[in-house]
Every structure is written in structure tokens, then in C-alpha cells.
Amino acid sequence: MHRDGITRFVRISFCNNRTVANILADRNATQRALIQQEYKTMYAEDLDQRLSSELSGDLKGAVLLWMHDPVRRDATVVRQALRGTIVNLRIATEVLCSSTPSQIQQLKAVYHAMFGAYVEHDIERQASGDHKKVLSQRLSQTHAHT
């Protein structure tokens, strides 16, 4: 999306939540990152902050997650699943069990960088029994297993 497209996006889409969702849903992670960079260059403001102030509810949550690159999105989803007001191990399990060992290593690093906590410790604290064992095993896999 070039400058004219960004300007049009800003003018039109913040008036219509559906337009925001449609525009961003039709872009891949690389394109969304370019939109964010261009927006910051043009308006000296983070697009995430603008979206956060303009949107609400489930749409806000979904759009803000779309704006992250996949590993940051996964780290955010796992963190919310483990440390939210309601712990949801099913979500953490889905992310970890659908990721390759390489992706898990990236997630662990990004999780720590973003939240100052180790995902392994959060799993240890929130899960129990066989569930904890399975998640801990997934987290301990290394690149050599790919």
C-alpha cells in the first residue's frame, strides 16, 4: 500500500470498522508491517495505538492481533491464555501443538522479550497433570527435532 493508499485507509476506514477489518484481513503480515511503518512515517503515531483508540470489543482484539507478526501474535495469545482473567489452557495448547520446534523457540524468546517472563514458568504454574507434561515437552523440543 503506497502513501495514497495509506491516506485513503486512514480517511475512510476509521469511520467504518468493517472497512478496517476488510482492508487488514486482505493483507499478509508483511504488508500489514509495511502499512504500520508507512503510517508511522506519515503521521508520527503508531497505527496500533490509533486502532486501539478507534476500535472496541472483539473487533479491536482481532485487529490488534492481526497487526502483529505471527510469532508476536502467538506470544500474545499464549500470554492472554495463561495470564488472563480466565486461564484457557486449550488456547495455549492449540498454539504450542500447532507450532514447529523452530517456531516454539522463537515464541519462547519473543514471549520473554515482550512480557519479561518465561512461558515455561507460566505453563508450570497454570497447568497440571498430563496437560502440564505435554506442554512442557513441547516447550523443551529443540531445533534438532525438526
Domains and CATH numbers, the chain: 3-66 (1.10.220.10), 70-145 (1.10.220.10)
What DSSP string runs through 84-134? SSS--HHHHHHHHHTS-HHHHHHHHHHHHHHHSS-HHHHHHHH--HHHHHH
pLDDT attached to residue 65 = 83
Using one digit for the tens of pLDDT, what is the confidence trace for 102-131? 999 999 999 999 999 999 999 999 999 999
Using DSSP, state whether 46 is helix, strand or coil. coil
Tens digits of residue pLDDT in 43-93: 898 888 888 887 888 888 888 888 888 899 999 999 999 998 889 999 999
